């Protein structure tokens, strides 16, 4: 009877542990697992599993049979990478929906027009995460509807490439990449030195591979007419030092682990210096990913969507949001903050009933529709 009692007690204890399971993101992890990416892999798998479990109980119309799975660039077969790149090139040939914007010559350019209009309101604000989530889905829809693309937007796990960005399968100049680094420019100004970072290894026009002959039409933000027609090449300035300092596997893991709520999580993502927890992060992973690419327009805060790599970088940002949410879904469906960047000028707190209006590119949506990747206008998860 004693052994039976112990067995019953053990079973009851196990059930209790399951009922009050501690979210994975709050559990202790070793520094070695943080640095190696093992903890990040564990987080990602747990989030994927949790989302798929929720999907099985959902009545949203997004099911296990039709959900799309977004994957990291190097996990996609070469022919699928090429199909994605060709769809982007196709979008660059389709007409703009903004006839009154002089510099907008293509459907691809439209995303820069949209981003420029929203930039002061959707960075370091309550809508940073949901704006970019809807922005990516709008882009993906354009690829589908205008160019027949049947895949998903890939994401770029920055930390896998920090040892040598130039050798990344995303930037190596091969036909299955998005083109190479820019031509090396010696003795160029290094604005990243203010963050203690070395200069990048490029700076000029893309040397080889896809998009090396592409013409950027809009920007830069410092031009006399930023939305006017200003044709030039894409310049890149790949920077492994910035990647290692701010976009490593460890940086990514700690952003997820230390994001105690959505306010802190988005502050950690962006290095929002108004928060003590984020003030030490410099560029943080958001800026780190952008300036690992650098150049023009990649390093332009307003016009960066004209860099094809923007969408894989922000795919990674959205993936972190997805992982963070699905590690503790019941507590991670809110937003926090005001409707202006750094609350300048001061503005009211944004609510889930507020809207983001992407017309004429996509319908106006309430923010609460943009919280979950398996409901509303979305039906995708991250692998």
Mean of all residue pLDDT scores within the chain: 93
Checking if the pLDDT of 20 tops 70, the result is: no
Measured distance CA(12)–CA(296) in Å, rounded: 61
What is the average per-residue pLDDT within 230-243? 98
CB neighbourhood size of 227 (10 A): 23
β-pairing, 355-356 with 203-206?
unpaired
What is the model's pLDDT at position 19? 40
Tell me, what's the pLDDT at 56? 77
What mean pLDDT is predicted for residues 166-195?
94
Looking at the DSSP bridge assignments, the partners of residue 182 are 206
pTM (two decimals): 0.93
Q: Which one has a higher pLDDT value, 13 or 371?
A: 371
Q: Are 134 and 377 in contact (CB under 8 A)?
A: yes
Residue 291: C-alpha distances to residues 190, 191, 248, 286, 327 (Å): 12, 11, 13, 9, 28
pLDDT in tens, 62-106: 999 999 999 999 999 999 999 999 999 999 999 999 999 999 999
- The whole-angstrom separation of Cα 104 and Cα 191 is 29
Name the DSSP letter for residue 151: S
Superfamily of domain 37-382: Di-copper center containing domain from catechol oxidase (1.10.1280.10)
**Region of poorest pLDDT, from 110-114, 184-188, 310-314:** 184-188
């Amino acid at each position: 009877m004693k052994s039976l009692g112990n067995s019953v007690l053990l079973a009851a204890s196990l059930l209790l542990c399951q009922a009050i399971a501690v979210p994975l993101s709050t559990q202790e992890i070793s520094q070695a697992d943080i640095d190696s990416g093992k903890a990040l892999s564990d987080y990602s798998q747990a989030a994927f599993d949790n989302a798929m479990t929720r999907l099985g109980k959902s009545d949203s119309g997004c099911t296990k049979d039709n959900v799309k799975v977004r994957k990291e660039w190097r996990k996609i077969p070469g022919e699928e990478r090429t199909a994605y790149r060709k769809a982007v090139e196709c979008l660059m040939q389709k007409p703009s929906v903004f006839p009154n914007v002089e510099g907008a010559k293509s459907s691809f350019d439209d995303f820069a027009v949209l981003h420029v209009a929203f930039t002061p309101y959707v960075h370091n604000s309550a809508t940073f995460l949901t704006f970019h989530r809807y922005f990516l889905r709008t882009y993906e829809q354009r690829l589908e509807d205008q160019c027949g693309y049947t895949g998903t937007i890939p994401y770029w796990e920055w930390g896998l490439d920090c040892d040598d960005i130039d050798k990344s399968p995303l930037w190596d100049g091969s036909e299955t990449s998005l083109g190479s680094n820019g031509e090396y420019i010696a003795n160029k100004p290094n604005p990243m030195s203010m963050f203690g970072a070395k200069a990048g290894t490029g700076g000029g026009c893309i040397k080889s591979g896809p998009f090396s002959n592409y013409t950027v039409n809009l920007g830069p933000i410092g031009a006399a007419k930023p939305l006017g027609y200003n044709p030039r090449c894409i310049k890149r300035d790949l920077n492994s030092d910035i990647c290692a300092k701010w976009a490593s596997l460890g940086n990514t893991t700690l952003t997820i682990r230390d994001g105690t709520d959505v306010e802190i999580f988005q502050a950690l993502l962006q290095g929002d210096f108004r928060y003590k927890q984020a003030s030490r992060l410099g560029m943080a992973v958001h800026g780190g990913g952008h300036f690992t690419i650098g150049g023009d327009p990649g390093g332009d805060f307003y016009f960066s969507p004209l860099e094809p790599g923007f969408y894989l970088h922000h795919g990674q940002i959205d993936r972190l949001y997805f992982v963070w949410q699905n590690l503790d879904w019941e507590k991670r469906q809110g937003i926090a903050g005001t409707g202006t960047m750094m609350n300048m000028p001061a503005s009211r707190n944004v609510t889930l009933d507020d809207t983001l209006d992407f017309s004429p590119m996509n319908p106006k949506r309430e923010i609460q529709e943009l919280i979950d990747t398996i409901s509303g206008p979305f039906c995708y998860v991250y692998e």
